[in-house]
Amino acid sequence: MSTNGHGHAAPPILLTISGFDPSCGAGTAADLKTFAAHGCYGVAAITALTVQNTQGVEDVHNIPSATLKAQLEVLAKDCNIAAVKMGMLGNRGNAVTVAEFLDAHTFAHVVHDPVMKSSSGRELLDAAGVKFLATELLKRASVITPNVPEAEILTGLTIKDLADMEAAARKILEMGARAVIVKGGHMGRPTDVLFDGTEMVTLPGERVNEEQLHGTGCTFASALAAHLAVGRGLLEAATLAKAYATKAIEKAYPVGKGRLPLDHFYRQRIEPPARGIHEVPQHGLHPAAEPAAH
């Protein structure tokens, strides 16, 4: 916790390493909203600029690796980062840059949501990046949170039921991961499987239609990072993150013609101040805000 001249302690500072979605339902924006909803302060290194709206991804412009590295380093030397959340990396070059960054610094918690394709099917990590993620990057995370299609790509297994999810979880730990949560949302009933090398825990969920939603994986992983950052254990953090994502899904509303982003701030509704009681700035910079003469 850092303090400023006012004596206020900063909340946990969380870093997202992710792609930017202009419709702000997924990626960096979803991560920052989730961090804020959990009382944390989010900083962000952008891995890619996407051209997308709620109806799908039209184009992807990966950030040059040197620029990504510079973003990461400038944040690390300025902020005390309590947890790191990784999402879309774009390509192998950016994945390697992130691995080098994680090797150069010690972070208490690293949550990796191994984004490979968009909801609409667009490739968000190249084949060489997928291979590097599977062989190198997953070893550097505290916990990796693949959905069923991502777990299939990582392990080469076909996942059709809960037993297959558990087999995939075991294999991902054999590949070097420290802990894994395989998310079952793509299988109708979203039961997740958590495995930390000692016990296999199933996290049951309520049925949701993933095909109508946008940003569920980003939101879950970011909430998980926030709960870990304040000192909760992995099982409790995962349970609370799932409850938050479920509620944010329930409260989702359309902002465009396609998929629904989640309502990250369903807990907070800031009421407008009662008329006549708010203070007017007295610095004279905004004449329009000064009280009118009656």
| Mean residue pLDDT across the chain | 90
Residue 272 in this model has a pLDDT that exceeds 80: no
> Which is it for strands 200-203 and 192-195: parallel, antiparallel or unpaired?
antiparallel
In a domain, 203, yes or no: yes
What CATH number corresponds to the domain at position 87? 3.40.1190.20
**Which secondary-structure segment (H or E) carries 229?**
helix 216-229
In a domain, 108, yes or no: yes
In a domain, 39, yes or no: yes
pTM for this predicted structure: 0.89
SS3 content of the chain, % helix, strand, coil (to 5): 35, 20, 40
In a domain, 7, yes or no: no
Q: Please report, for residues 272, 278, 294, the alpha-carbon distance to residue 290 in angstroms, rounded to integers and kept in the order given.
A: 18, 12, 12
Segment among 61-65, 216-220, 258-262, 266-270 with least mean pLDDT: 266-270
In a domain, 275, yes or no: yes
In a domain, 4, yes or no: no
Q: Count of domains in the chain?
A: 1
In a domain, 3, yes or no: no
**List of residues 6+ apart from 39 with CB closer than 8 A:** 11, 226
Residue 57 in this model has a pLDDT that exceeds 60: yes
**Do the Cβ atoms of 50 and 20 come closer than 8 Å?**
yes
Residues of the domain holding 262: 13-289
Q: What are the pLDDT digits (tens) for 2-51?
A: 555 567 888 999 999 999 999 999 999 999 999 999 999 999 999 999 99
Q: What are the pLDDT digits (tens) for 102-159?
A: 999 999 999 999 999 887 788 899 999 999 999 999 999 999 999 999 999 999 999 9
Which residue reads 């419709």 in tokens?
Answer: 23
In a domain, 1, yes or no: no
Residue 280 in this model has a pLDDT that exceeds 80: no
Nearest in space to 31 (alpha carbons), one of 135, 136, 145, 127: 145
